A and B are shown apart, each in its own frame.
Chain A
Amino acid sequence: MFNKAINIKDKYIRQEMWPSIFCTGCGIGNVLNYTLRAIDSLQIDIDRTVFCSGIGCSSRLPGYVDADGLHTTHGRAIAFATGVKMSDPELTVIVFTGDGDMAGIGGNHFIHAARRNLDLTVICINNFNYGMTGGQVSPTTPPEAMSATTPYGNLEEPFDLSRLAIGAGAPYVARWTMGFPYETITAIEGALRTEGFGFVEILAPCPTGFGKGNEQRDAVTSWEWYKDNTITRAELAELSPEERKANTKTVIGTLWQTDKPEYGKRWRELVQRLQSEPDLSG
């Protein structure tokens, strides 16, 4: 269990970057807090940890951590992280991303990284919209929701990011909302412990971008929306088979956990085998 008394700000934050750029009611800062608590709890060496990100509000997170950070191009964080991890497998590599960055422009890198199963931890802050650019529709915007580029309501179907990760082969997938801080920290720990591609999706409010057109203008109304529209796996298990079948709420919890060979390890085994061959020439 993590140490509640630890002063995360003093220990891990890059002081000259503080305060953050995040709006009132935004959930991204909370996710940073949860992530750093998970790192602290697992006693991961921060000198040997690299935070990667793409573009968007969530992608500003590496800048706030006093550690190595790679703030890259839009959607590509997972691909950059792949290079970091393959070059130095002993580094802990964490990706902060958002729904637009990871599932929109970066969707291809996401599914391929899940399939490849390199030891990365990907934390996706899903706030249902492109917040940095002012609240446009994203691949996870709920149907009929308003956004700056769907002024008459969203006609597209959203991605379920966690199911996408499971389908693509990720061995660890968990989803929580802002209403479950301890569970979220435990989930991030789970992803960090996973030898392979660990994915945590966190539903987080964006009052400024998504909230303004969807009656979620503050964090409280967003949190209430999560409460009404999500169901934990434990709660789901208590429902009758008919009720379960009829459930339309988003399921949260540890959604998938399995053992799979990790890519980096397999690569290093190959390298070792080739190097022990008597004839070195390729």
Chain B
Amino acid sequence: MPVEFDPHRVVQVLGQTETFAQGDVACAYGALLGGCDFFAGYPITPATEVAEAMARLLPRIGGAVLQMEDEIASLSAVIGAAWAGSRAMTATSGPGFSLMQENIGYACMTETPCVIVNVQRSGPSTGQPTEPSQGDMLQARWGTHGDHEIIALAPASVQECVDLTRDAFDLAEKYRNPVLVMTDGEVGHMRERVRLPAADELEIRPRGEPTTSPEEYVPFLAVKGGQIPEMANFGTGYHTYVTGLTHDERGLPATDDATTHSRLVRRLCQKISSDVDTLTRVERDDEDGATVGIVSYGISARSAAGAIRILRGEGERLNHLRLIGVFPFPEKAVQDFAEGLDRIVVPELNLGQICHLVREAVNGTAKIELVPKIGGEILTPDEIIQAVKHGGESV
């Protein structure tokens, strides 16, 4: 059977509560704290250290670690383990993330909770394996085919690698959906002080068992008043048939029935999109009378914070909105932020991805200006300052 979550054991295995850790390793810490008991992965720069840390730590709490033959197999094994009752994770970077796209869609369609860490590197293709990037953000949203929703978090620090990876497991269980931790090569490879919670601070949201008997159980029927069905683990006598084909509430294929398909896919989307307020996770730093704002996420949020500190020191007024949860896109939070602003600057380690969603949310009330950067170096505060003072690229 999958491993029962034992906070004391996890804390013992992790050792110190205050430590100096690398971002990738911190994702592994977060996974253990989030109750992860299964990891399957494949070596890839700059995400390999997640697999290495999991290989070291997970067997000590009784979990399972597999180095699979590729990234497709890694996510396959993760989804299989999730159905057998595990809280399961994989970690990868761009090329591996591309390979995983089909199975991400499978996990969405079959409502399988799982966590995928993407330590983004510079693409396309093999690109710059050791260099950070935020180039997979829209792939995270739309990389797999068909209509679907995704949950994606963007850590900006090593501490957030711990915290957000930990939270990703409960979100995956709650919404029965893959959850992406979209970190990058910079956050993944930098070292910072982290604080790990004590055993009595550790709590996870257990999957639980269906509230109906196997005879009455309808595996893909949403619980009353909600959009999410109860999940019966394999081996518990519920005889669940799981398929990536369009299926009815019983889980049985109904591929040529338009109504069934529409009902299923709309529910899969709405279970997340209708709960965007609960899922919204942003950090806002405002000043009275500001007319310029910055919307940032991940590593670029740190460059933005540096720029803001300098600009405020020079007497400029400006606001900052940091997206911690990027998907579902916190549209309302961005709209609220845009109120009273003339311009919004969006710094990104790509040629413009999230800026388009900001523009769509703001819908013309403020001018959206991009500060793009690719090539392997993170944005400097000065590059953002120049954009704030003299204008960024039009979006």
A77-110 contacts to B (CB < 8 Å): 79-88, 90-91, 108-109
Is A164 at the interface (CB under 8 A from chain B)?
no
B72 near A86 (CB under 8 angstroms)? no
Is A17 at the interface (CB under 8 A from chain B)?
yes
Per the bound structure, the CA–CA distance linking A80 and B245 in Å amounts to 16
A80 near B76 (CB under 8 angstroms)? yes
Is A145 at the interface (CB under 8 A from chain B)?
no
**Whose C-beta in chain B lies nearest to the C-beta of A16?**
B252
A108 near B69 (CB under 8 angstroms)? yes
User: Interface 1/0s, chain B 248-287, versus A by CB < 8 A?
Assistant: 0010110000000000000000000000000000000000
Is B220 at the interface (CB under 8 A from chain A)?
no
We find that the number of chain A residues with CB closer than 8 angstroms to chain B is 41
User: Interface 1/0s, chain B 71-105, versus A by CB < 8 A?
Assistant: 01110111111111110100000000000001100
Partner of A68, one of B56, B72, B238: B238
User: Interface 1/0s, chain B 1-27, versus A by CB < 8 A?
Assistant: 110000001001111000000000000
Is B68 at the interface (CB under 8 A from chain A)?
yes
Is A255 at the interface (CB under 8 A from chain B)?
no
**Whose C-beta in chain B lies nearest to the C-beta of A263?**
B66
Task: Please classify the interface of chain B as helix (H, G, I), strand (E, B), loop, or mixed, using the class held by over half of its residues.
Answer: mixed
Closest chain B CB from A57 CB (angstroms): 13
Per the bound structure, the CA–CA distance linking A274 and B73 in Å amounts to 27
A82 near B13 (CB under 8 angstroms)? no
User: Interface 1/0s, chain A 98-140, versus B by CB < 8 A?
Assistant: 0000000000110010000000000000000000000000000
Is A229 at the interface (CB under 8 A from chain B)?
no
A50-96 contacts to B (CB < 8 Å): 50, 52, 62-63, 66-73, 76, 79-88, 90-91
We find that the number of chain B residues with CB closer than 8 angstroms to chain A is 53
User: Interface 1/0s, chain B 50-75, versus A by CB < 8 A?
Assistant: 00000011011010101011101110
Residues in A with CB closer than 8 Å to B102 are 73
Is A228 at the interface (CB under 8 A from chain B)?
no
Residues in B with CB closer than 8 Å to A91 are 84, 234-235
A71 near B244 (CB under 8 angstroms)? yes
**Whose C-beta in chain B lies nearest to the C-beta of A50?**
B234
Closest chain B CB from A266 CB (angstroms): 11
Closest chain B CB from A105 CB (angstroms): 10
Closest chain B CB from A214 CB (angstroms): 29
A281 near B13 (CB under 8 angstroms)? yes
Residues in A with CB closer than 8 Å to B237 are 47
Per the bound structure, the CA–CA distance linking A14 and B280 in Å amounts to 42
Per the bound structure, the CA–CA distance linking A242 and B76 in Å amounts to 47
User: Interface 1/0s, chain B 96-135, versus A by CB < 8 A?
Assistant: 0000001100100000000000000000000000000000
Residues in A with CB closer than 8 Å to B56 are 282
A76 near B9 (CB under 8 angstroms)? no
B204-249 contacts to A (CB < 8 Å): 234-245
B79 near A83 (CB under 8 angstroms)? yes
Partner of B77, one of A63, A83, A108, A280: A83
User: Interface 1/0s, chain A 241-282, versus B by CB < 8 A?
Assistant: 000000000000000000000000001001100110000111
Residues in A with CB closer than 8 Å to B64 are 86-87, 267
Tell whether A70 pairs with B81 under 8 Å between CB atoms, given A86-B66, A108-B70, A281-B12.
no
Is A233 at the interface (CB under 8 A from chain B)?
no
Closest chain A CB from B325 CB (angstroms): 27
**Whose C-beta in chain B lies nearest to the C-beta of A51?**
B241
A69 near B73 (CB under 8 angstroms)? no
Partner of B2, one of A48, A66, A88, A275: A88
Partner of A282, one of B57, B73, B242: B57
Per the bound structure, the CA–CA distance linking A123 and B5 in Å amounts to 35
Tell whether A68 pairs with B60 under 8 Å between CB atoms, given A83-B40, A282-B13.
no
Residues in A with CB closer than 8 Å to B9 are 280
A50 near B73 (CB under 8 angstroms)? no
Residues in A with CB closer than 8 Å to B82 are 83, 87
23 A/B residue pairs, CB under 8 Å, sorted by A:
A14-B239, A14-B241, A16-B250, A50-B84, A62-B241, A63-B252, A63-B253, A68-B234, A68-B235, A68-B240, A69-B241, A71-B242, A71-B245, A73-B76, A85-B84, A86-B64, A87-B38, A109-B73, A267-B59, A270-B59, A271-B59, A280-B9, A281-B13
New contact pairs (20) apart from A79-B73, A85-B84, A275-B62, CB-CB < 8 Å: A16-B250, A16-B252, A68-B234, A68-B235, A68-B242, A69-B243, A76-B73, A76-B103, A79-B77, A79-B80, A83-B38, A83-B76, A83-B88, A87-B37, A87-B64, A88-B2, A280-B9, A281-B12, A281-B14, A282-B60
